[in-house]
Amino acid sequence: MRRVFTAAIAALTVTTAGTLVTGAPGQADARPGKSRSVAVSAAPKPGSPGLGDPYFPDYGNGGYDVDHYDVRLRYEPATDRLSGTTTILATATQDLSRFNLDFLLDVESVRVNGWTARFAREGVHELVVTAPRGITTGQAMTVVVTYAGVPSETLVDGYSGWTRTVDGALAVNEPESAWWWFPSNDHPLDKATWDISVSVPDGVEVISNGVQPRPPLAEAGNRMRWGWRSTKPGATYLAFLAIGQYDIVTDTAPNGQPVINAYSTTLGDRKPAARASIERTAEVVDWESGIFGPYPFEAQGGVAAPIDSLSFALETQTRPVYGPGFWRRGSNLYVVVHENAHQWFGDSVSVADWSNIWLNEGFASYAEWLWSEAQGEGTTQELFDFTYANYPADDPFWQVLPGNPGAGAVFDDAVYDRGAMTLHQLRLAVGDDAFFRILPAWTAAHRYGNGTIAQFQALAEQISGLDLDPVFTTWLFTPGRPAPAAATRTTTAPAQPKSWTQIRAAHQLLAR
């Protein structure tokens, strides 16, 4: 939901730092590989250090596709020391002489298909792995990385995406989060499933995505190992950890799925407001399923983060994490509606690259307007009118293009508010019948995949039979305050919808 970094990171990561080579170079080179093919192919090449994202070119890596992460960790809340092993199951998509992972902590060893591999650090977050044997297109790769570090003290641009809390830690951030706790192909284009287990001192809780395949297991040294499983493909930034003192509430949703909510015990008098919001998750998901299509994941829930921790919320897969600020003035359903709408728009259907962020934030924000309408707290038209009037024509807000905001403005107000206004204009253009067919058609067509704004426009045009270029160009890609459609123009100052205060309160924490 909210990127804490500045765009400086994109520039920073382009620089190449000194190279540190450890491991056991050459150890296995003498052993002949199996002759696998008589076909003559080009020499293996390095996998690219990025996936070409226009905003974050070196995020993710080329040359392989991850199927699954097995993240097995040990954490000490007292010192913030994190150690462990991540096993990556991947498939090579080219003949590889070497490949990259995105990761920041100190690496002790890397093995590829059982063989010790050389590794080196390049730039800010690139771990370059050279396997002793060549890797060929289509070959299964099992990459085992052993590592340790203190994530809160591992800084990039003076910043850590790992939040140390009063009683533990949170790994919750967008788009950079995994760098601080597991090596990965860190871009939404490479989705995978994952198993996460963490050993902590007895009495500490560990919350993560998905379901618990087993209860926590006792380990030597008065410790417990918690385990979580995500069975649907997810983008790496949507994996999370919440470690600390939590009260866990479990139930069954109307669709039969497990609901697992967790509340930091540090919330004090904010805890009832957090519960009054997050305990309605299953109701919200049920309502959203009726509009967006079947809920795409295996479990539901939410996590109320500790006091003095996150200043935002994030749509972590199956279980959004909410900062304590949302409950300062009481309950707030709108942030729950927003984060759970992201389960369809952002999590199941992810951006193909980060310039398409409107597909996440515009839709999650419009979900709030739809909820307001359903609750009788202000119609979508009233919210459009009031939001439109809230930003004067000379406000810099209108200079940010929701359809291509730039790396430094991915979470700008415009992406949210003008983003929601765009969907309202689309709805007016195509009519309710087509609009409410477009939304579930989109989530079905790109389920567990990726999408672009151009693809969404094409689908909307296909379903409505209309040329929608004027709507998309005007509202997403043209600076300045557009004239609203004649039918929606208001001549008097619009009244403030009842839901406005809560929506504002949520957006002040979600957008920048």
Q: How far is the CB of 174 from Zn ion (least distance, A)?
A: 9
Return the C-alpha torsion angle 305, 239, 6, 453, nearest 10. Answer: -120
Q: How far is the CB of 188 from Zn ion (least distance, A)?
A: 14
Q: How far is the CB of 363 from Zn ion (least distance, A)?
A: 9
* Cα–Cα dist 418/99, whole Å: 40
Residue with smaller CB distance to Zn ion, 1 or 428: 1
Which of 1, 88, 117, 278: binder of Zn ion (CB under 5 A)?
Answer: 1
498 phi and psi angles, rounded to 5 deg: -60, -35
Residue with smaller CB distance to Zn ion, 69 or 358: 358
Which of left, alpha, beta for 327 (phi over 0: left; psi -120 to 50: alpha)? alpha
Q: Which residue is nearest to Zn ion (CB)?
A: 1
Interaction of residue 321 with Zn ion, rule CB under 5 A: no
Q: Choose the binding region for Zn ion from 12-20, 70-78, 356-364, 444-452 (rule: CB under 5 A).
A: 356-364
Q: Choose the binding region for Zn ion from 92-100, 170-178, 260-268, 358-366 (rule: CB under 5 A).
A: 358-366
Q: How far is the CB of 157 from Zn ion (least distance, A)?
A: 23
Residue with smaller CB distance to Zn ion, 195 or 361: 361
Q: How far is the CB of 364 from Zn ion (least distance, A)?
A: 4
Interaction of residue 359 with Zn ion, rule CB under 5 A: no
Residue with smaller CB distance to Zn ion, 361 or 413: 361
Residue with smaller CB distance to Zn ion, 122 or 347: 347
* Cα–Cα dist 252/506, whole Å: 27
Tokens of 92: 């090579």
Interaction of residue 364 with Zn ion, rule CB under 5 A: yes
Place of tokens 């995406």: 161
Q: How far is the CB of 113 from Zn ion (least distance, A)?
A: 39
Closest CA to 361 of 442, 290, 423, 428: 423
* Cα–Cα dist 259/328, whole Å: 24
Cα 339–chain centre separation: 11
Q: Choose the binding region for Zn ion from 31-39, 325-333, 359-367, 463-471 (rule: CB under 5 A).
A: 359-367
SS (H, E, C) 36-52: CCCCCCCCCEECCCCCC
Q: Choose the binding region for Zn ion from 207-215, 281-289, 353-361, 496-504 (rule: CB under 5 A).
A: 353-361
Residue 133 class from Cβ within 10 Å (0-12 exposed, 13-18 middle, 19+ buried)?
Answer: middle
**Interface residue list for Zn ion (CB under 5 A):** 1, 361, 364
